[in-house]
Structure 1
Amino acid sequence: MARGARPQSRVGGGDELGSNGIAGSGIGGAVPAGGLSLLLAPGLLTPGALSSGTLALTPAVEAGTAPVVARARPAIARRPGAGLVAKRVLDVVGAVLGLILLLPFFLVIAVLIKCDSPGPVLFRQSRIGLGNRPFRVWKFRTMTCCENGSVIRQARRDDPRVTRIGRVLRRTSLDELPQLVNVLLGSMSLVGPRPHAMAHDAEFTVTVARYAERHAVRPGITGWAQVRGCRGETPNAAAMQRRVDLDLAYIEHWSLLLDLIILGMTLREIFRPQAAY
């Protein structure tokens, strides 16, 4: 490519994604790195594509159908101090407003949970957070059990452990709302890689390339992977690999604008709950 030429992404007769925005919904080729370009890219990052210059894109695939390959490890970019402060301010303000505005809704959910099945309204589960430090995540109870050991079975479609009200809460991700407390305490952020149970962390750290690098930032209530359709069960390493690719892309190309738009996109996912159960 000649010096100064603008990289393009060609799909199906001329859709382009360049530094000035997007002119179609296709994917492919290479696009300039950056938060906005990443956000607008509707496909899956090619394994090994994260670099300081370009992002190579491939068509999205069903989780578990693509081969998992090892990729070179690029450096995780450091966020400027001002950016960290701005993100924390957004977290605190968002968590406080959310807890105040949603308090009546929390009470309704609590009553429904107690009426639906015996057990606590809330439960805490051990997760790994920033810098590999463990913490306890808060959730509305959605199952008849509260697993928090060395072996934890992921919820599956028509899982008999999930309660009636629990199915609604899980499909809409409303069971995650108590994590606003985690955000306020500083163990989580509004936006970031979703934390997984410690038992699953131990498994996927071995089988999924660069999995542990997700712990370079605070985990989030929602994230780039979730708004790109990665919700629900991860039955194999390939499914988790796609989440990790998207999480690392978010970390490397983070911006406050990207966080705000992901929060907006999360509202859409509440009404598109096909993958969560």
Structure 2
Amino acid sequence: MLTLSHVTKQYTVGNSTVEAIRDIGFTVADGEFICIVGPSGAGKTTLLRCMCGLLRCTSGSIRLNGTEVCGPPRQLACVFQEYSRSLMPWLTVEHNVGLPLKNKVPSRAERGRRVRSALAQVGLDGFGKRYPWQLSGGMQQRVAIARALAYEPEILLLDEPFASVDAQTRADLEDLVLRVHVTSGITMVLVTHDIDEAVYLADRVVALSARPSTVLETIDVPLPRPRDQIATKADPRFAELRTQVLGLIRRPDTAPGADADLHPVGGAK
């Protein structure tokens, strides 16, 4: 469904060129759940923004169903880390969820059906008339996920969506996303700095190096589904996979230069 080929992204900062990601390539199959991990500052969010068309890559290509991504595709939805910034505080929950449907679904009745269905999927039945500021952080992130689901995308990109909530809420939201993945069949790509989370959720984990980021390795996760916070994480294979991924991104010889963002491309340190 999604193909990245030799994707590089550079920024101009003053008189210097900063390279965030370098020659990245991998594919995402229809219905697959991919997690992208890497060290802090590795350019994971930059990569995701290129994938969803919010940034243009400097070179290489990103294709969704064979069509090059040159702007936000209509088949794609995103959930971002800062749920408090992505929700409109003056709109009710149901109006926040229905916001992206106004230009896509002409029928008001169909928009209402989609909103109710999405809220039910994330366990927020009965909260449609509330405002975001009346909800907990975890519930606000559920609203953001419901908004993406109401859009009925073919692929859902999630940028560290659980980073701002407590550990118990994080586990609940992980399981929520897994249930949605199974029931809806939506292809998912999730960026996270949490190795345990990546192994728990993914069919495959894409491990990135330090900046400028390259793909170190793509690791299959053959853990059985459905997954469980206790049983899955007690499986010896979970620990093996976690150790494998962590070892990859912490190997000093695989880091192209963690401080490369401070220096011009090709320049001396």
Q: Per the shorter chain, which TM-score range?
A: under 0.3
Length-normalised TM-score, structure 2: 0.28
Structure number with higher relative contact order (C-alpha < 8 Å, ≥ 6 residues apart): 2
